[in-house]
Amino acid sequence: MRDNYNRDIDYVRISLTEKCNLKCIYCMPEGYVPRGEEEITREDVNKILVTLASMGIKKVRFTGGEPLVRNDIVDIIKDTKKIPGIKDIAITTNAVLLDKKIYDLKEAGLTRINISLDSLKPETFKNITGGNVEGILNGIKKAVELGIFVKLNMLPIKGYNDNEIEDFINLTKDMPIDVRFIELMPMGPAKDFRGIKSDDIKDIIVKMGKDYTEIENEGTGPAILFKLEGHKGRVGFISPMSHKFCHLCNRIRITSDKKLKTCLHNLGEVDLGPFINDSDALKEVLNQGILKKYEKHTLDTDNISKSGREMVRIGG
């Protein structure tokens, strides 16, 4: 399945809810109230994925909000595992509930986990998210022990957690995980904070006296990966601001209110709700929406996202 710019679209991110059990300062707007009345159902998810798989989608990532607050998340993953053509099932989570659910998720068919973790220090973590970090670290440890591939996503913010960059790099010394530094994008509340550019973090690695080598990213994501000498894990960079990667974009998004969104940072949504129970009509509307996928975002020129939604209302 290709868009009008000849990009092979084989990856979907589905937001299961706008609800979240943390309140990250760069993500959740002041006075935020999640909209749950039209939340996508387990049956809706399955119908959409069956249709997308028939069109060439191979990889699924469930996001939110926080997907683990869904009581039926394990059943949704079990359903997805049964769909012909789906090769990879992942979630993006803040991992607050991971410690309790990791075994069932693994049994259901989960293959990968992206964990958003912006501080290892209890006080800093609480300042950024309003939550506690201790249980999250336990969940990460269990996931690694179970052989699930773990990626830690850290969003460095000046004046908040930029003094922990070395600590996150050092996590890869003894753990076979990817630690990825993501550049802050100016959307929603995040526009009021200052991020750290990827090149500046590479300078930190050099100052640490670490030899690092760029390695091939065996996946299809935008991360640039590096292996540090003597480290079991890897360090990666996702750089939408300083190193635009729109030409590599292979994904679409489905929001928790059943809208197709083909670009994170541009307007344009297609309501899938009226078509979910008609597979032929659903396939046609998805195909037409994908053909209209934007060529690129304009963050680098406008310095603001045109998404029309905050991140929590789209899905990470």
Residue 309 to residue 316: CA distance in whole angstroms: 12
**Two structure tokens written together for 181:** 């530094």
Say if residue 180 carries a ligand binding annotation.
no
**Two structure tokens written together for 47:** 């119908």
Say if residue 306 carries a ligand binding annotation.
no
Say if residue 92 carries a ligand binding annotation.
yes
Q: Token pair 């589905």 is at which residue?
A: 14
At residue 179, what are phi and psi to the nearest 5 degrees? -105, 120
Say if residue 309 carries a ligand binding annotation.
no
Say if residue 26 carries a ligand binding annotation.
yes
- Burial class of residue 142, CB neighbours in 10 A (0-12, 13-18, 19+): middle
Say if residue 27 carries a ligand binding annotation.
yes
Say if residue 61 carries a ligand binding annotation.
yes
Q: Token pair 């336990």 is at which residue?
A: 138
**Two structure tokens written together for 122:** 């209890």
Query: How would you label 287-313 residue by residue, b for 16+ Cβ within 10 Å and e otherwise?
Result: eebbeebbeebebeeeeebbbebbbbb
12 by DSSP, 3-state: which?
A: strand
Say if residue 158 carries a ligand binding annotation.
no
Mode of pairing for the β-strands spanning 259-261 and 59-63: unpaired
Say if residue 252 carries a ligand binding annotation.
yes
> Any bridge partners for residue 251, and if so which?
11
Q: Is the dihedral of CA 227, 154, 171, 93 positive or negative?
A: negative
Q: Is the dihedral of CA 139, 142, 144, 146 positive or negative?
A: negative
Say if residue 251 carries a ligand binding annotation.
yes
Say if residue 116 carries a ligand binding annotation.
yes
Say if residue 198 carries a ligand binding annotation.
no
Say if residue 151 carries a ligand binding annotation.
yes
- Rounded to a whole number of angstroms, the CA Rg of the chain reads 19
Say if residue 20 carries a ligand binding annotation.
yes
| Binding residue positions for [4Fe-4S] cluster | 20, 24, 27, 246, 249, 263
| Binding residue positions for GTP | 13, 61, 92, 151, 251-253
| Binding residue positions | 13, 20, 24, 26-27, 61, 65, 92, 116, 151, 185, 246, 249, 251-253, 263
| Binding residue positions for S-adenosyl-L-methionine | 26, 65, 116, 185
